[in-house]
Amino acid sequence: MLRKWTFRAVIAYLLFGIAVYVYLFYLAGSTVPDHLKGTSVDPATFLNSREIMLSEEYSKIRNLLYFISTPYEWLFYFLILIFGISKGFERWAESTSRLHIIQSAIYLFLLSVISFVVTFPLSYISYRFSKAYNISTQTFTLWMKDEVIDFWVNFIEMFIIVTVLYWLMKRFKRRWWVPAWLLSIPFMIFMMFIQPVVIDPLYNDFYPLKNKDLETKILALAEKANIPAEHVYEVNMSEKTNALNAYVTGIGSNARIVLWDTTLEQLNEKEILFIMAHEMGHYVEKHIYFGIAGYIILTGIGLWITAWVMNRLVRKKGAELKITAVSSLSSLPLFLLITSVLLFAASPITNWVSRYEEMRADRYGMEMTNDKKAAVQTFHDLTKSGLSQVNPPYLVKIFRYDHPTMLERIRMVEEFKKK
C-alpha cells in the first residue's frame, strides 16, 4: 500500500509538471491582439527584440517554477506523513519533554529544517534564474542571509500558531476551528501592525525619503487626498534587485508609504507622483479594511473545511497516514497540506479582487495626476525592469496576477477620462 501511494503521488506530480510545461512553452500565447499591435500596449513599441525575447523566456521559467513549486510542497507533506517521518518527529518531541509548548517547539523545528532542506533546490534555482536574467543583484551570501531570516521569522510565527492551535484541538475536539478562527483575527491585526517596524527592517534599511523636494510634492498629493501622512519612506532594494516597486504597509500609526530606491533611480518625478497617487488610492478607498474583512471570511471558511477534511481523513485513513488523532502534532503536515490546497484553489478569487482594487487605484492615480504620458511610461518601465509579459497566458493571470496585466492597465490609462 505504501509503495502504491508513493508511486501514484510521484507520477501525478510529474504528469502535472509536464502538462504545465507544455501549456506554458507550447500552447499558451502572450502576444497582444492584432488590433492593438503598434499601439502603446505593444511591447514592440517600447522594448527592443532582445528585451522581448528575454521577457518571454524569463516569464515562462518563472511561471513554471511557481506552478511546480506549489504541488511539490503538497507532495512533501504527503510523503512525510505516509513514511512516518512526522510520527517520528512527534515521538522524539514527546520523549524530550512533557510540556506541550516544548514538544511543539521541538517538533516544529525538526519539520521546519527538513522542509527548508527539501524546498531549497527550487528556491536556489529561482534565485539563479533571477540572477542570470539580471533581475536579482544579490550575492549568494546576501540571498542566504534572507533565507535564514525567513526561516526564523516563519518558525517564530508558526510556533505561536501551532502551540495555540493544537492546544485548542485538544481542548475543543471537533469545534476547535471556531476559537482558532476568532483568535486569528487579533493575531492578524497584530502582525499587520508590527510588520513595518519589526519584521521588514530585518531584511532592509528603511529611512525617510532623502529627496525633500519630491517628498514635499508627494505630501501635497496626500493633503489633497485628505491623507494624514507625515513621511514617505524609501528602502535600499538596489542591493537585491533591479525591479521597481512601491507599496503601502501596516495599519494605524504604523502605516507607511514605501518607495524602493530603484524606483527613485529609474523613474522620473512625474512617474513617481503617479505611483504615489496610485498608492494613496488604496488608502482613500479603504482597501486595507476590505482586505481584513476578506481575510476574516476566508479564514473562517478555510478552517471549517480543514477541520472537516482532517476529521474525515484521520477517521478513515489515520493508520495509513500514521496519525492517531487530529490533535496529535504528527497531523500538522496534513493541516498544512489541506490549507495550502485551499489557498491555491481560492487564489483565482483573491487575485480577482486584488486586480479590481489595483485598477481602482490606477484610476484614482489618474484622477489625481491626469498625466496619461507619465502613467503609460511608468507601466512601460515596470515591464522592462521586471521582464514581465504585457499579456500573460490566461491561467497565469488568474492564478498568479494580483495586479491587472500591463495590457489592461495601459488601455485603461489611454481610455481614461477625468470626471
Is residue 249 classed exposed, middle or buried when 0-12, 13-18 and 19+ CB atoms within 10 A define those classes? Answer: middle
Quote the cell numbers at residue 265.
533611480
Is 100 annotated as ligand-binding? no
Quote the cell numbers at residue 73.
510542497
42, 234, 271, 362: which is the annotated catalytic residue? 362
Distance separating alpha carbons of residues 20 and 17, to the nearest angstrom? 5
Is residue 240 classed exposed, middle or buried when 0-12, 13-18 and 19+ CB atoms within 10 A define those classes? Answer: buried
Contacts of 146 (CB under 8 A, 6+ apart): 138, 203, 240
279, 357, 371, 408: which is the annotated catalytic residue? 279
Is 278 annotated as ligand-binding? yes
Distance separating alpha carbons of residues 267 and 378, to the nearest angstrom? 7
Give me the residue label for grid cell 526564523.
Answer: 152
Distance separating alpha carbons of residues 259 and 19, to the nearest angstrom? 39
**CA angle 121-126-132, nearest 5°?**
120
Q: Residues 75, 10: contact at Cβ < 8 Å?
A: yes
**Across the strands, what pairs with 256?**
249
**Across the strands, what pairs with 208?**
233
Give me the residue label for grid cell 509503495.
Answer: 3
Is 403 annotated as ligand-binding? no
Taking each helix axis from N to C end, the angle separating 100-132 and 332-369, rounded to the nearest 10 degrees, works out to: 50
Distance separating alpha carbons of residues 99 and 285, to the nearest angstrom? 47
Establish whether 362 is a catalytic residue.
yes
Establish whether 279 is a catalytic residue.
yes
Residue among 236, 247, 239 nearest 207 (CA): 236
**Across the strands, what pairs with 306?**
none
Distance separating alpha carbons of residues 297 and 281, to the nearest angstrom? 24
Distance separating alpha carbons of residues 292 and 217, to the nearest angstrom? 30
Q: Which residues are annotated as a binding site for Zn(2+)?
A: 278, 282, 358
Q: Which residues are annotated as a binding site?
A: 278, 282, 358
- Report the catalytic residues: 279, 362
